[in-house]
């Protein structure tokens, strides 16, 4: 049986658990810091999507109002991360490629003016093939975007319509070529276990994606997420669990045989092409979330907090304008007893796990505090016995939910 992969679209903030218990840890050093910027609008909402996306209003997007609010959000957040370097940026959504080249240029100017971006910071923008334009992609690159993430999902026109996508297969192919001409680094999102999909058509999608020589693939099993149209009205002809598992094994074999290493549950990369932004998520790094609905995790020497902005774009804009923090919908301290699970929920998604000392430096806890969970995992064959790494065995990665649950 293979891992059941939830939709965790590239760049989306990783799984988390609300804090509980009492007491906080102490950190001797702060982890790397990333930025996540959320653009909330789409041409229309896809029926499988549970991200904070909203159908674009009639007429032009309120880009000027969005920029003004984003500037205010940045300025009010700066005291939390003052002086820290930023190693990566992800502009996600929604559909960021709906924004004009001038707006992206303004955003990049804001980031350079307010944050200490490292010289070779990875800066990714998420794009929908249905909104792709060659000149706009090139302008994005001129502004400082150096990586594009394309939501292809499938090259099957029938399946694209079922998924509610606004592009067709021809537009997907054209968007890949436009992206590759604009930037050196491109990720393709591909879904499998789609309504009416067979193993043959599933593998054809992956073969076609690989034919472009892309450096990075994100391969997701379609799941019926709560509070989505598909959850309420499930599509017909969904592959059963056995067929979905067979597809998952087949796409993994195809990607790896083409030279892409599966380094995370749903991420495959050529050597040197791993997503630095996502690696920071999985290694329990920090990230400041800006924009409506954006989530963040920030460390201080005496505590770790999680924040979430309010979801509705108008409410977020009004809250930022008020200047009193009301645009922050959640601001919670992660307590000591929640930290082991929070850390492992992310780190164990990595095939190679993480060095054991990372647990101590990024949580402020001693690894001795999880010794009995590690011992139980080793005895059950789920965790590696190597004291130098926190890593699943192949069995533990296959049954990842059970392995993560050891640390609850």
pLDDT tens-digit readout, 87-124: 999 999 999 999 999 999 999 999 999 999 999 999 99
Model confidence at 42, pLDDT cuts 50, 70, 90, reads very high
Work out the angle between the directed axes of helices 134-143 and 169-182 (0-180°, nearest 10).
30
H or E element at residue 299: strand 295-300
Q: Which CATH number fits domain 33-282: 3.90.380.10, 3.20.20.70, 2.40.160.40, 3.40.50.10800?
A: 3.20.20.70
| pLDDT tens digits along 178-191 | 999 999 999 999 99
> Stretch 378-405: mean pLDDT, rounded?
97
Note whether 305 and 332 are within 8 A (CB).
yes
pLDDT, tens digit (0-9, with 9 covering 90-100), for 219-236 = 999 999 999 999 999 999
DSSP secondary structure string for all residues of 225-262: -TTSHHHHSPPSS---HHHHHHHHHHHHHHHHHTT-EE
Residue 21 has what pLDDT? Answer: 43
Q: What's the token pair of residue 221?
A: 């099993």
DSSP 368: G
Angle between helices 241-257 and 199-211 (to 10 degrees): 20
Identify the band that residue 305 occupies on the pLDDT scale cut at 50, 70 and 90.
very high
Q: What class, spelled out in words, does domain 337-405 have in CATH?
A: mainly alpha
Task: List the one residue out of 196, 188, 209 whose CA is nearest residue 243.
Answer: 196
Q: What is the mean pLDDT of residues 169-186?
A: 98
Residue 83 preceded by cis peptide, ω within 30: no
* Both structure tokens of 13: 């903030």
Indicate the pLDDT class of residue 25, thresholds 50, 70 and 90.
Answer: low
Q: What is the pLDDT of residue 59?
A: 85
Token pair 């749903």: residue: 266
The two tokens of residue 201 are 């058509």
Structure-block tokens of residue 335: 């307590």
- The pLDDT confidence band at residue 9, using thresholds 50, 70 and 90, is low
CATH 1.10.10 maps onto the chain at: 337-405
**pLDDT of residue 312 exceeding 90:** yes
pLDDT at position 14: 66
Look up residue 77 and give its two tokens: 């957040």
With contact defined as beta carbons under 8 Å apart, do 36 and 51 qualify? no
Q: What is the pLDDT of residue 16?
A: 53
Q: Over 50: is that where the pLDDT of 63 sits?
A: yes
- Give 5's pLDDT tier (boundaries 50, 70, 90): very low
Q: pLDDT tens, 249-265?
A: 999 999 999 999 999 99
Given this model, what pLDDT does residue 105 score? 98
- Alpha-carbon torsion 109, 91, 76, 119, what sign? negative
Tell me what pLDDT residue 58 has.
86
pLDDT band at 22 (very low <50, low <70, confident <90, very high): very low
For the chain, give every residue range classified as CATH 3.20.20.70: 33-282
């Amino acid at each position: 049986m293979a891992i059941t992969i939830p939709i965790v679209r590239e760049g989306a903030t990783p799984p988390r658990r609300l804090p509980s218990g009492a007491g906080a840890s102490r950190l001797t050093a702060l982890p790397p810091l990333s930025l996540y910027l959320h653009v909330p609008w789409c041409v229309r909402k896809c029926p499988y999507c549970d991200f904070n996306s909203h159908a674009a209003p009639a007429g032009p997007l309120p880009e000027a109002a969005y920029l003004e609010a984003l500037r205010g959000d940045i300025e009010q957040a700066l005291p939390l991360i003052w002086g820290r370097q930023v190693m990566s940026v992800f502009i996600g959504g929604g559909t960021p490629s709906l924004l004009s080249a001038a707006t992206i240029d303004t955003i990049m100017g804001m980031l350079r003016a307010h944050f200490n971006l490292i010289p070779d910071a990875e800066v990714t923008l998420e794009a929908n093939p249905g909104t792709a334009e060659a000149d706009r992609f090139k302008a994005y690159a001129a502004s400082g975007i150096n990586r594009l993430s394309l939501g292809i999902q499938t090259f099957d026109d029938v399946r694209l319509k079922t998924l509610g996508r606004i592009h067709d297969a021809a537009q997907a192919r054209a968007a890949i070529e436009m992206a590759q001409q604009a930037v050196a680094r491109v990720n393709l999102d591909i879904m499998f276990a789609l309504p009416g999909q067979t193993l043959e058509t599933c593998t054809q999608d992956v073969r076609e994606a690989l034919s472009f020589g892309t450096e990075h693939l994100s391969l997701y099993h379609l799941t019926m997420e709560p509070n989505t149209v598909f959850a309420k009205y499930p599509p017909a002809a969904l592959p059963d669990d056995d067929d979905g598992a067979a597809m998952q094994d087949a796409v993994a074999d195809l990607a790896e045989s083409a030279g892409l290493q599966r380094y995370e549950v749903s991420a495959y990369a050529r050597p040197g092409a791993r997503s630095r932004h996502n690696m920071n998520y999985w290694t329990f790094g920090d990230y400041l979330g800006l924009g409506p609905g954006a989530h963040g995790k920030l460390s201080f020497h005496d505590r770790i907090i999680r924040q979430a902005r309010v979801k509705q774009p108008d409410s977020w804009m009004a809250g930022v304008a008020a200047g009193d923090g009301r645009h922050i919908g959640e601001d919670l301290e992660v307590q000591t007893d929640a930290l082991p699970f929070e850390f492992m929920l992310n780190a164990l998604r990595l095939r190679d796990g993480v060095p054991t000392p990372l647990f101590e430096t990024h949580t402020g806890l001693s690894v001795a505090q999880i010794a009995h969970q590690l011992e139980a995992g080793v005895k059950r064959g789920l965790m590696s016995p190597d004291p130098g790494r926190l890593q699943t065995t192949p069995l533990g990665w296959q049954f990842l939910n059970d392995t993560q649950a050891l640390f609850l």
